[in-house]
Amino acid sequence: MVTTTLINWAFPHLIIPQSNGEGHREMDSLEGLGKNKKVTRTCDFEMPLHYPRYTKEDYAKMEEWKVDLLLSQYGLDHVIKGTSLDDKRKFAMGAFLWPDQL
């Protein structure tokens, strides 16, 4: 009884993402019992599920392309565009290392 009630309440509120092939995702809302509404997101940012496990020494030796890739995976590439490799490394250390690791 409780499970049936929960499913009946939750199902119309589900949001199902679908890619439209143009870099946007459309969301089909099942709210309204069968009356699907389309909502388009323009942001493609997706946070990785893992946290970088590099040490301070790893960042100090990391090549520029790798620092750029790491920061872009977390949506931080716009912050460091046009800066030196040393500044990129320092930014990555500040963003991903805990204070006791600095």
- Better pLDDT: 66 or 32: 66
Is the Cβ–Cβ distance between 74 and 50 less than 8 Å? no
E-assigned strand segments in the chain: 15-19, 25-29, 37-41
Domain boundaries defined on the chain: 2-41, 56-101
Per-residue model confidence (pLDDT) at position 43: 64
**pLDDT confidence bin for 35, thresholds 50/70/90:** low
Sheet containing strand 25-29, strands side by side: 15-19, 25-29, 37-41
pTM: 0.55
Q: Give SS3 for 30.
A: coil
Q: Is the pLDDT of residue 60 over 70?
A: yes
Q: What is the rounded average pLDDT of the residues 91-96?
A: 94
Q: What are phi and psi of 79, to 5 degrees?
A: -75, -30
Query: Which 3 state secondary structure label does DSSP give 85?
Result: helix
**The pLDDT of residue 21:** 54
**Is pLDDT of 32 > 90?**
no
